Amino acid sequence: MENTNKERKFDNFDEYAQDYRTIHNENIQISGESSEYFAEFKIKWLQKNVKETSFTFLDFGCGDGTLADWFVKYFPEAKYFGIDISAESIKIAQLKNLQNTEFHTFDGIKIPFQDNYFNYSIAACVFHHIDHSLHPQVLDEIKRVLKTEGSFFLWEHNPLNPITRKVVSECIFDKDCVLLKPSYSETIVRSAKFKNYKSDFVIFMPRKSIFKPFLFMENWFKKIPIGAQYILTATK
């Protein structure tokens, strides 16, 4: 995305907020599914990895709130908070009027919540839209608002996957981004003094009909670093 600042710091999606879903869905046609499918995919993964039902959850860089659409379905007793620098995206999210959800704008670094507030936080394909020089500050803030033993899920595109690189390179709002190698993500999370970190890889096959009977096999491949995306899990 074109940035008003000479030096890129954050990608702001205000310009694309109204058409974001249409653009995104067209961009990932090769996958055989929509962006809504992959939002639900993330929440279903979360359900498998979070055993609690009532907790506080921060969606860092929530955009138009599509994760929240599914979050309230799978975690109806939990409290969801979404934050983003894009005021136009937050307006769209707030119009959803979803139960147990709040959406707020912020400056990209300073999270508008007190220390030790959240049980869990996710940054779903967000960090590649943040200048790498700011990653340590952002991680420090996420760690600050997490409770002791709270978990952080860093979900990113995998640049080791050639199809991922192709899709990202052709997306209009990804044109300035720099993808994070799994090794880089582990390094910055370790430097922020998170603990118990591990990486799993996901989405090895297209979601087209011919492949659907075999998607269960992806669970066997999660440690093979060629999935289209990866999730780095760490605790405070």
pLDDT band at 6 (very low <50, low <70, confident <90, very high): very low
Q: Is the pLDDT of residue 3 over 90?
A: no
50 lies in some domain:
yes
- Does 130 reside within a domain? yes
Within-domain flag for 76: yes
Please indicate whether residue 57 or residue 210 has the higher confidence score (pLDDT): 57
Query: How far is it, in rounded angstroms, from Cα 192 to Cα 56?
Result: 22
In DSSP notation, the chain reads: ---SSSS--B---GGGTTTHHHHHHHHTGGGTS-HHHHHHHHHHHHHHH---SS-EEEEET-TTSHHHHHHHHH-TTSEEEEEES-HHHHHHHHTT--TTEEEEE--SSS-SS-TT-EEEEEEES-GGGB-GGGHHHHHHHHHHHEEEEEEEEEEEE-TTSHHHHHHHHT-GGGTT--PPPHHHHHHHHHHTT-EEEEEEEE--S--STTTGGGGGGGGGGTTSTTSSEEEEEEE-
3-state SS string for 34-47: CHHHHHHHHHHHHH
- Residue 231 forms beta bridges with which residues? 155, 200
Give the per-residue pLDDT at 208.
85
Mean pLDDT of 17-44: 83
Residue 90: C-alpha distances to residues 82, 84, 128 (Å): 8, 7, 20
Domain that holds residue 147: 14-235
Evaluate whether residue 171 is within a structural domain.
yes
Confidence of residue 23 (pLDDT cuts 50, 70, 90): confident
Q: Compute the distance between CA of residue 186 and CA of residue 234 in angstroms, rounded to an integer.
A: 9
CA distance 2 to 174: 10
Residue 105 predicted with pLDDT over 90: yes
In a domain, 3, yes or no: no
What is the C-alpha R_g of the chain? 17
Q: What is the pLDDT of residues 142-193, one digit of tens each?
A: 999 999 999 999 999 999 999 999 999 888 878 788 999 999 999 999 999 9
Q: How far is CA 213 from the centre of its chain?
A: 27
* Any domain includes 88: yes
Residue 64: CB atoms within 10 A of its CB come to: 27
Instruction: Dump pLDDT digits (tens) for 63-87.
Output: 999 999 999 999 999 999 999 999 9
Mean residue pLDDT of the chain comes to 91
- The verdict on residue 6 lying in a domain is no
Tell me if 5 is assigned to some domain.
Answer: no
From CA 203, how far away is CA 152, in angstroms rounded? 20
Cβ atoms 81, 118 nearer than 8 A:
yes
Q: On the CB side of 64, how many CA atoms lie within 13 Å of its CA? A: 17
The count of structural domains within the chain is: 1
Contact 149, 235 (CB under 8 A): yes
Residue 185's domain is classified under what CATH number? 3.40.50.150
pLDDT tens per residue across span 33-55: 888 999 999 999 999 999 899 99
